[in-house]
Structure 1
Amino acid sequence: MPLSGNEATVWALLLPFAAAALGPVLTHRLKHNAAWILAVFPAFIFIHFLSYVPMVAAGQTFTVSYEWIPTFGITFSFYIDGLSTLFALLVSGIGTLVVLYAGGYLKGHTQQGIFFTYLLLFMGAMLGVVTADNMITLFVYWELTSITSFLLIGFDHLRTASRRSALQALVVTGAGGMALLAGFLLVYLASGTWQMSELLTNPDVLRSSSLYLPIFILICLGAFTKSAQFPFHFWLPNAMEAPTPVSAYLHSATMVKAGVYLLMRMQPVMGGTEIWMTVLPFFGGLTLVIGTYLGLRQTDLKLILAYTTVASLGLLVMLTGSSSPHAIQGAVLYLFAHSLFKGGLFMAAGTVDHEAGTRDIRKLGGLRHAMPITFSATVLAALSMAGLPPLFGFVAKEVLYDGLWHAHSGGIFWAFTGVVGNSMMFALAAIVAIKPFLGPKVETPKHAHEGPLMLYAGPVVLSVAGLIAGLFVASTGEWLVNPMTSAIAGHSVTKELHLIPAHINAALFLSLLTIALGSTLFYFSDQLRSFVDRTLKIIGWGPDKGFDQFINATVRLSAFVTRTVQTGDMVMYMRAAFIALIFTLYTPMIITGSWPSLSQFELVTLTEAGIIAVALVGLYAVLTAKNRVTAMVSLGISGFSVAVIYLLFGAPDLSFTQFMVETLSVVILALVMTRLNLQPSDSRSVASKLLDSSLATLTGLGFALTLMSVTQQPFDASLSEFFTAFSRTIAHGRNIVNVILVDFRGFDTIGEISVVMVTGLCVLALIRVRPVSSKNNEETTTQIKQEAKS
């Protein structure tokens, strides 16, 4: 039975944003030591969510909700169960260590305070993603992770590579976010609810819906782009241009797992279908193999780890897609293990780079004596990544192999796909642990030595946590793994976990096969690197290059559209605007047949006819005027005539406004036109005048017909009655028109004032234009052409 009212969780989720505001201030005063204070915030969040573990393990769930947009049923709400609890613990726990690590890694950096702000903003966004109950709330946090990751990846904005990587990540994940929003809208149409917790109570509502296929495609697009699934995998390795704390946090333990989280969250209501159990394992398995294969050619420690992250995300998607309870449990175990060992390995790689001056494994060796603590932490984390006992990664590999082997559809094939990918991952884990630290000592660009506490605290804590979780795997499974597995599977899962296999089975055989193949691949790693390089050169084109081609094509297309549409010809702009108005006015009447009836109108009085005649005289004067000034003054005659008509029909306020507008219009136009270097008369051709007069006539007639059609409809006085009844009581004003403009439609009035202000500034700019000499004009034209070519 869900509990409600746990408002303390909301305050905990707001803490990272408060810490983000304090980042620059504390850093200005305490320098890099500000990290110790800032790390307290995520540490408190970790403790808060840790308090949920016993209750969540007992099967309880928690919700807290606040009204946001009640008209559309959208709330600011959060849902705590086994899935969100473990993710929140990873985000806050690893976030605590990364904040400390960033304090040491960026020590002395002039923008360290800003970096803390970006990092903590991302932490708050990611916590919101994994705890949000309302889908719109989730989407807002989802997009916030994309924005903050853009800032973090492009932190070193003076480097072209950093800017390109940040833009690439933003475009790919942002596009996926738009697809996700469309998917959520379809989910609402199919289910009638925005709440994830309510969806889980009716798990068949989406599977039985005719909208299931488009929902599936859009949800997958959102998840695949965020979690770097093929063919969107290329952005994640490129994001390694970011500082190492970003890589250790965003691209191993948190952001890239947001897509996996989404698929896990939707598994109870979308999983188990044929398309789910085919598409997800296919793309996940393909990403697993491609990621590890591309990793074999890398010599940069961070890039090696980046490609194994891509592969690991593919493995998680493949396991989630199988919809088998054992495979899902394997996914939970591997997600937990991967967050621990990969976060530690990224930090260790950054420490090596920071203290030795390079991350290239060809320029490293023998660091075990100079950096013993980092070496020990790296070995422990790499053993878990390789899936060797007694580390937690070993248990995860055993369970996921068992789950894939016994999957409902194609289990044996997916199991051997996992062996192929994990064998290459085993080799890459060995490369990361052995190449930099063992063998003869290699002279490095910097004198290598052990880093400060801030740099090795994270790798040590995470690698030891992986060891403890493996040694006490039964308790880990009971308190953390089983509750999360139950949330994903949609029913209670209470499988007991053991470090030592109870008996010889297929999973143990597959693990041994993985170790044998992985050891062989490590032995031939140098030859494999050359082989992978040759194959990629033969292939040539890839998604990364395709992204550049897409961006370049978009830029060229926009330039073409701009050159075609924005010609600088004001006459063409006016014609286009009038043509659009004509289509807007006539299309509804043509489609619906709602033409006005001329028989319902009475004849005008003599006074009204006289005023109309004056207006027509003014119009005739405009059309026959010999110069522009006469035409402008004549135009005011028609405007004043309309103002008199307003006065006759009992609208003095509107009449006064019309008089003022017409007077100012004539004065301003006369002043402006006399300052511009324009021809005194209209020199257009007869054909051009006929075209413009036809457009003007059609537009005016369209407005007249539309107004006639509207006035013939039954009058709805509800709005008028509302303003009459509440202008005095709510807005405290007696003049209803003024109250409407200032209070009820205040934002509209501000907008109109802004438009007038901008127009005035444009008019001022036109008045101040000075003639340009032909020589300067030619130089400017030449410069513009050169810039366009470049």
Structure 2
Amino acid sequence: MLLTVLSGLIFSIVLVLFGRKFKAKWSILLPILPTLLFLYFAYQIPQISEGKSIIQHIDWVPSLGVNFDFHLDGLSLLFALLITGIGSCIFFYGRAYLKGHPYFDRFFGYLLLFMSAMLGVVLSDNILLLFVFWELTSISSFFLIGFNNDNPDSRKSALTALGITGFGGFFMLLALVLIGNIADTYTISELFTHRETILNHELYPLIIGLLFVGAFTKSAQFPFHFWLPGAMKAPTPVSAYLHSATMVKAGIYLLARFTPILGDHTYWNTTLLVVGGITMLYAAIHSLFRIDMKAILAYSTISALGVLTFLLGLGTREAMIAVSVFILAHALYKATLFMVTGIVDHETHTRDITVLSGLRKVLGPVALAGILAALSSAGLPFLTFGFIGKDLIYEATLHYTIPEWIWILTGLAVATNIGLVAAGFMAGIKPFVGTLPQEFEKVHLPYKSMWIPPLLLAILGVIFGILPALAGDFITNTASNAIWGNDTASHLKVWHGFNTVFILSLVTLIVGSLIYFINKPSLSKLQAVERLNNISPQRIITGYANDIVRFGQWYTNLFHNGYLRSYHLKIILFAEALIAYRLWLSGPINVDFWTLTYPDWYEIAIIFILIGAIYLVVTTPSRLTAVVGMSVIGYCICLIFVIYSAPDLAMTQFTIDTLSTVLFVLVLYKLPPFINLTSHTVLIRDAVVALGFGVILSLVAFKVWSEPISTEISDFYGENAYLLAKGKNVVNVILVDFRGIDTMFETVVLSIAAIGVYSLIRLRLKSSERE
């Protein structure tokens, strides 16, 4: 499974190296990888459908509990099939949609990277590894959403999406670390045995609160939903992939994966019910006022995500079955509708449903795909898989465990689905019915690779609707078992009799259809709704974000003014305050000064030379004299090291000091010969700070002197330096091996600095930018 996850990254690198070839001759090869991956996961269906699972363990950082652990069960298989199956369709579709685009290869490189990240999320069996891939989805989606980087709206949408999902990812990391520490394991499959420990822990409310922030931001739940409509600035293949089957479903996957571990608790269920209920109804209503096909689909997607969250909040066996079925049904019809929207936009150059009509006459197969997907979204009985999904939603609400809430929750679900019926018809049927305007008479079918994928997905939704056992027995049943934590014994059927559920489905379809015919979306209605944006979550959260930016500007201007002397002063003052506070907490210093060993005459002489050199450095008007004074200070420290039997430190200090002096002289000799002396006030201030630092370090030395000697650390290094690191020089072993991570990060910092310098050297500005 590791290869399936890393394959996209590997081929992304191939695209970087050979991108020009893929723009022309080799573009037909692009869909091969996702198709092969889909076939691999499809091959695992018989084994997984029997209740088995596949586990792969590869050590990475075992000392920290971070390993390449992968687990393929019913839930991860459902998502893996969606990621690779719909991904294959998107690759065929995008290859024609973006033909001739100057960044054709770059787009598919980003898409492959994103596909790998999503596979990593759903296959990871280590919570820290899951987080790594989770953040990789945010980064790769940032590149995809902002792909049209010459458009300011695209750049803004990408930054908004990255900011919201990155914000949630930070809180999710805290939750995952807390879970791992409480359970004493970071392996997800082992967390099930620690369920009671986590649920009874005092930090349980904090854990689920942090986890909810991560899931809600990624899956566009209220009030974090607004980034998703903005992300529609991305090319349509991106919208079809990210917002139907992959990125926005990552939060749903996270909640579903942790439901058997953290769920079945009042805090968990109530929060998901409330947030999911608000989201699904709010977005369904908003979708009715949109006139852009992608905006309609965006809000209906948010509503569908709210439905899934709502079902997970119900927490019953019927709800878990409904979740697995609705995930599949929604992915099939929503990906189809997005791709249909892209074809309409590609051929007519508009997505405005107030001007689109009659396109069935020129885009026959596309119209068929759109109509079938819209009917599946509406839940047409006996024909579409969406009907089974709608039925199961009502089945779940009607079997809720608290009788007083049954009809309230069912009414909320019915109202939401009515809105989704109308929205689906607006996006999937409205552009294709009616009279064909004259300006669209010359519209023609695009490449087959554009209209065949959505038509296949739409037909698949019909096949699963007529033969639901194909999906239920082999895919969704095992997924619902994984979410429920036990065997749900679900067997999907087309007909369950003329009962309350069927009546509710018919009412939903009829009322939704009536609203579609009665509702006439227009720009004036949309503008009327947008007047409420002043109190919208987007305006409120954006306001807070702007306040943070203003605070950041104030903080930067105060602390980061560009003067090195100012940085040094603030760092030293902070260090003084921190050390002084720690000394104050540690209590009085008990030192018998009569027992101290006082310095010999030669040590006193060195100290006076040091003081004289320091005075020379801070008072001389000559740069070179100051450099010489600094070198004298360094050599005096070398002598002190020699006196106290540290020749290795003395040689190191001597070498560094000599090299520094030579470099300073080479750099400064061409500069003006005199330094402009600062004011006496500044000198006095700096002298006070320096004296304070010296006093505090002296107190630290006395404090160390007064403490009992403990040799545990030095004994450990002495005993293990050769045994563990095969080194006889303890100091070298500490620097290279025991402090290896510190050295690694220092290397990373230097590498980042080198990249920055190289970027500046290679920078080529336009004439307008130079001005």
SS in structure 2 at match of 1:362: coil
SS in structure 1 at match of 2:354: helix
Contact 1:27–1:33 (Cα < 8 Å) also in 2: no
The residue number in structure 2 matching 1:309 is: 301
The 2-side partners of 1:722 and 1:331 are apart by 58
The 1-side partners of 2:522 and 2:355 are apart by 19
- Shifted more, 408-417 versus 307-316: the winner is 408-417
Task: Deviation per CA, 1:499-543: give whole Å up to 9, x if none.
Answer: 0222x3221121122122212211112168755642442553323
The 1-side partners of 2:745 and 2:5 are apart by 36
1:57, distance to aligned residue in structure 2 (A): 1.9
The 2-side partners of 1:753 and 1:88 are apart by 37
Pair 535,349 (structure 1): closer, same or farther in 2 beyond 3 Å = closer
Alignment pair present for 1:714 and 2:710: yes
Alignment pair present for 1:218 and 2:210: yes
The 1-side partners of 2:260 and 2:753 are apart by 56
The residue number in structure 2 matching 1:270 is: 262
Question: What does 1:24-43 align with in structure 2 at a 5 Å threshold?
Answer: 28-29=20-21, 31=23, 34-43=26-35
Question: What does 1:50-61 align with in structure 2 at a 5 Å threshold?
Answer: 50-61=42-53
Contact 1:32–1:106 (Cα < 8 Å) also in 2: no
The 2-side partners of 1:329 and 1:702 are apart by 66
Code of the residue aligned with 1:400 in structure 2: it is I
1:744, distance to aligned residue in structure 2 (A): 7.3
1:434, distance to aligned residue in structure 2 (A): 2.6
Alignment pair present for 1:696 and 2:690: yes
The residue number in structure 2 matching 1:245 is: 237
Code of the residue aligned with 1:407 in structure 2: it is Y
Contact 1:33–1:103 (Cα < 8 Å) also in 2: no
Question: Equivalent of 1:481, from 472, 476, 485?
Answer: 476
Pair 651,97 (structure 1): closer, same or farther in 2 beyond 3 Å = same
The residue number in structure 1 matching 2:764 is: none
The residue number in structure 1 matching 2:582 is: 588
Pair 45,362 (structure 1): closer, same or farther in 2 beyond 3 Å = same
Contact 1:27–1:34 (Cα < 8 Å) also in 2: no
Question: What does 1:302-701 align with in structure 2 at a 5 Å threshold?
Answer: 302-389=294-381, 390-409=383-402, 410-444=405-439, 447-502=442-497, 504-526=498-520, 531=525, 533-538=527-532, 540-568=534-562, 571-593=565-587, 595=589, 597-599=591-593, 601-619=596-614, 633-663=628-658, 665=660, 676=671, 682-685=677-680, 687-701=681-695
SS in structure 1 at match of 2:358: coil
The 1-side partners of 2:675 and 2:76 are apart by 73
Structure 2: any 5+ residue segments left out of the alignment? Answer: 755-770
- Shifted more, 9-18 versus 668-677: the winner is 668-677
1:305, distance to aligned residue in structure 2 (A): 1.0
Pair 189,715 (structure 1): closer, same or farther in 2 beyond 3 Å = closer
Contact 2:623–2:673 (Cα < 8 Å) also in 1: no
The residue number in structure 2 matching 1:79 is: 71
The 1-side partners of 2:16 and 2:744 are apart by 35
Question: What does 1:177-192 align with in structure 2 at a 5 Å threshold?
Answer: 177-192=169-184
Code of the residue aligned with 1:578 in structure 2: it is I
1:246, distance to aligned residue in structure 2 (A): 0.4
The residue number in structure 1 matching 2:147 is: 155
1:55, distance to aligned residue in structure 2 (A): 2.1
The 2-side partners of 1:455 and 1:51 are apart by 27
SS in structure 2 at match of 1:149: helix
Pair 577,363 (structure 1): closer, same or farther in 2 beyond 3 Å = same
Code of the residue aligned with 2:387 in structure 1: it is F
The residue number in structure 2 matching 1:13 is: 5
- Shifted more, 41-50 versus 196-205: the winner is 196-205
1:86, distance to aligned residue in structure 2 (A): 0.7
Code of the residue aligned with 2:223 in structure 1: it is P
Contact 1:82–1:487 (Cα < 8 Å) also in 2: yes
Code of the residue aligned with 2:513 in structure 1: it is S
Contact 1:385–1:429 (Cα < 8 Å) also in 2: yes
* TM-score computed with the length of structure 2 as normaliser: 0.90
The 2-side partners of 1:19 and 1:653 are apart by 50
The 1-side partners of 2:483 and 2:369 are apart by 32
SS in structure 2 at match of 1:104: helix
Contact 1:270–1:276 (Cα < 8 Å) also in 2: yes
1:162, distance to aligned residue in structure 2 (A): 0.7
SS in structure 1 at match of 2:520: helix
* TM-score computed with the length of structure 1 as normaliser: 0.88
Code of the residue aligned with 1:718 in structure 2: it is D
The 1-side partners of 2:666 and 2:641 are apart by 28
The 2-side partners of 1:523 and 1:753 are apart by 65
The 2-side partners of 1:114 and 1:596 are apart by 67
Question: Equivalent of 2:253, from 261, 266, 269?
Answer: 261
The 1-side partners of 2:356 and 2:206 are apart by 50
SS in structure 2 at match of 1:182: helix
The 2-side partners of 1:757 and 1:77 are apart by 30
Contact 1:582–1:699 (Cα < 8 Å) also in 2: yes
1:349, distance to aligned residue in structure 2 (A): 1.1
1:27, distance to aligned residue in structure 2 (A): 5.5
Contact 2:421–2:513 (Cα < 8 Å) also in 1: yes
SS in structure 1 at match of 2:435: coil
SS in structure 1 at match of 2:438: coil
- Shifted more, 578-587 versus 307-316: the winner is 578-587
The 2-side partners of 1:691 and 1:211 are apart by 48
Task: Deviation per CA, 1:422-468: give whole Å up to 9, x if none.
Answer: 10111112222332111111134683111221101211110111111
1:544, distance to aligned residue in structure 2 (A): 3.0
The 2-side partners of 1:253 and 1:665 are apart by 59
1:181, distance to aligned residue in structure 2 (A): 0.3
The residue number in structure 1 matching 2:765 is: none
The 2-side partners of 1:450 and 1:19 are apart by 31
The 2-side partners of 1:25 and 1:621 are apart by 58
The 2-side partners of 1:330 and 1:395 are apart by 9
Question: Equivalent of 1:45, from 37, 41, 64?
Answer: 37
SS in structure 1 at match of 2:432: coil
Code of the residue aligned with 1:714 in structure 2: it is S
The 2-side partners of 1:196 and 1:562 are apart by 42
Contact 1:618–1:635 (Cα < 8 Å) also in 2: yes
Task: Deviation per CA, 1:33-52: give whole Å up to 9, x if none.
Answer: 74532222112211221222
The 1-side partners of 2:317 and 2:523 are apart by 37
SS in structure 2 at match of 1:63: strand
Alignment pair present for 1:201 and 2:197: no
Pair 662,85 (structure 1): closer, same or farther in 2 beyond 3 Å = closer
RMSD: 3.2
Question: What does 1:158-169 align with in structure 2 at a 5 Å threshold?
Answer: 158-169=150-161
The residue number in structure 2 matching 1:780 is: none
The residue number in structure 2 matching 1:287 is: 279
Contact 1:42–1:96 (Cα < 8 Å) also in 2: yes
Task: Deviation per CA, 1:47-71: give whole Å up to 9, x if none.
Answer: 2212222222222122111111111
Question: Equivalent of 1:126, from 118, 121, 126?
Answer: 118
Code of the residue aligned with 2:73 in structure 1: it is D
Pair 719,92 (structure 1): closer, same or farther in 2 beyond 3 Å = same
Identical positions, percent: 36
The 2-side partners of 1:433 and 1:257 are apart by 22
- Shifted more, 169-178 versus 53-62: the winner is 53-62
SS in structure 2 at match of 1:361: coil
Code of the residue aligned with 1:294 in structure 2: it is H
Q: How many residues are aligned here?
A: 751
1:84, distance to aligned residue in structure 2 (A): 0.5
